[in-house]
Amino acid sequence: MQEWSDGYVADLEYTYGYYTELNPRRVALAFLNAGLAVPALGTACELGFGQGLSVNIHAAAGGGAWWGTDFNPSQTAFARELGARGGDPKLFDQAFDEFCHRPDLPEFDYIGLHGIWSWVSDESRRVIVDFIRRKLKVGGVVYVSYNTMPGWAAMAPMRGLLTAHSELLGAPGQGRLPRVEAALAFADKLMAANPAYARANPQVSERLAQLRQQNANYLAHEYFTRDWVPMSFEQMTRWMEPAKLGFASSAHYLDLVDQINLTPQQQALLREIPDPGFRQTVRDFCVNQQFRKDYWVRGGRRLSPGEQADQLRAQRFVLTQLRADVPLKVAGALGSAQMQEAIYAPVLDAFGDQAPHTLGEVEASLKGRGLTLAQVVEAATLLVGNGSLQPVQDDATAARARPQAERLNAYLCDRARNSPEVQFLASPVTGGGVLMPRFSQLFLAAHRQAPAKPEKLAQQVWTVLSAQNQRIVKEGKTLETPEQNLAELTGQAKAFTAQLPVLKSLGLA
């Protein structure tokens, strides 16, 4: 008899993460960069939604009909709790085989899988591919992220060792987290013995040190599942063929700007390769790719250069931070890079009023600067990848989404009174999530009730914390006195108040 979890970690809940790549609104710029027509993305599905934060934010803030499954019932219960306060997606706790054969499923425009593909069995992958084959519309999009080679080549044997230690040497009745800790301790002991593997792969010691900084529940899901396979792009292509999917674009926008990822020699090498799939495989070797985030499409339609330019000009974006706070640095595969101020400063200035603007409007406003549409598009692509800019949905969709996004946000802000776990809210302007840590949510809730000066906002939040006998921890030290806590909260409230123009432009305040 097959276990209901199919070898995946089900005794520990996943983290409360939000994954912006799952937002269908981000498809447009990536597709247009690739010269592909942007499909209509109304009916959507997320397979393996974890705690359900992404699927609920997208259902509430982006509109459309969402479906999804995650076979952990406690996670599904929490996801449904969120859904009842927002966009009411149809969520289930069924295994993929059961969910994918439900007779009531519609056809989908968009199917997303984040953090699933590499961690399930081949049997489950075949179920997923068959589901996509049967239920994805012509022109529909699949987003999938997965561990890949060659970036995992050095660490894959260590991952196998960690899993084997947990399964073979873990004490009977010992919980999963103690087994994770014991496996990591053994790995440290092995590396201290200076094995030839460590000498041949010096980066592994650094990776183990980084693991120690990760959330323990995340580690259990990432490293200690029964089935785990990092795939090359070529292997992934073969998996997608039965569903008639073709590669469209990376969903990680920073991957779309070659200058920050590839040397001139590497760029020249890739230009010599006629096959687009093999070009992706070679590119992964150039950057030592470890994790891919990709869009695949069933029947992508190529645009003429004129169509591509017109549709790019029509794309709208909004700044997600104050203009003065946007860094002119970006991190790519080649390391940290300085953005060209002559290009990026004028583009950012065009968005500096915190209002949405189309790329065509930006292009027109900068004609006197000599900037081309291609330069404006590349700047927008990099700024979206950097998190400073976000695509904006049409006004009618945003207006429909606003009431349900506000309901979900009100529930999350109220929940923040007792829990710091969820750190994102839903923006009806972008159709996606906005990072909002616990105290910012509490400030926002107080501000929406009655706008006040930072000192009063701080006092209101301190009333919540002190009633629960909670204190702020700053730089590893607990602030013990009310005066110390109020001083810290006042500083954070001032920073929050300064961000109100951004929150208003995103439909949050």
pLDDT at 213: 83
Contact 16, 416 (CB under 8 A): no
Q: Do the Cβ atoms of 53 and 16 come closer than 8 Å?
A: yes
Encode pLDDT of 241-270 as tens digits. Answer: 999 999 999 999 999 999 999 999 999 999
pLDDT, the chain, mean: 93
Residues in the chain, overall count: 509
Amino acid at 133: R
Using only C-alpha atoms, what is the Rg of the chain? Answer: 24
Mean local confidence (pLDDT), 431-458: 95
Query: With bands split at pLDDT 50, 70 and 90, how would you rate the model's confidence at 170?
Result: confident
Q: What is the pLDDT of residues 335-391, one digit of tens each?
A: 999 999 999 999 999 999 999 999 999 999 998 898 999 999 999 999 999 999 999
Instruction: Tell me the whole-structure pTM to 2 decimals.
Output: 0.91
Give the DSSP letter string of 218-258: HHHHHH--S----B-HHHHHHHHGGGT-EEEEESSGGGG-G
> Above 80 in pLDDT, residue 2?
no
> Do 230 and 149 meet the contact criterion of CB atoms below 8 Å apart?
yes
Going by pLDDT thresholds of 50, 70 and 90, the confidence category of residue 4 is very low
Task: Give the sign of the dihedral formed by CA 137, CA 139, CA 145, CA 149.
Answer: positive
List the domains of the chain with CATH numbers: 20-150+229-297 (3.40.50.150), 156-223 (no CATH), 305-391 (3.90.930), 398-505 (no CATH)
Rounded to an integer, the average pLDDT of 406-419 is 96
Q: What is the mean pLDDT of residues 194-201?
A: 94
Mean pLDDT of 462-490: 92
Those residues whose C-beta lies under 8 Å from the C-beta of residue 235, and which sit 6 or more positions away, are none
User: What pLDDT is recorded for position 368?
Assistant: 87
Query: What does residue 19 show for φ and ψ, rounded to 5 degrees?
Result: -120, 105
Question: For the chain, what is the largest distance between any 2 Cα atoms, rounded to a whole number of angstroms?
Answer: 72
Tally the C-alpha atoms within 13 A of residue 385's C-alpha that lie toward its C-beta.
Answer: 24
Convert 370-407 into a string of H (helix), E (strand) and C (coil): CCCHHHHHHHHHHHHHCCCEEECCCHHHHHHHHHHHHH
Closest CA to 228 of 125, 321, 311: 125
For residue 386, how far is the Cα from the chain centroid? 12
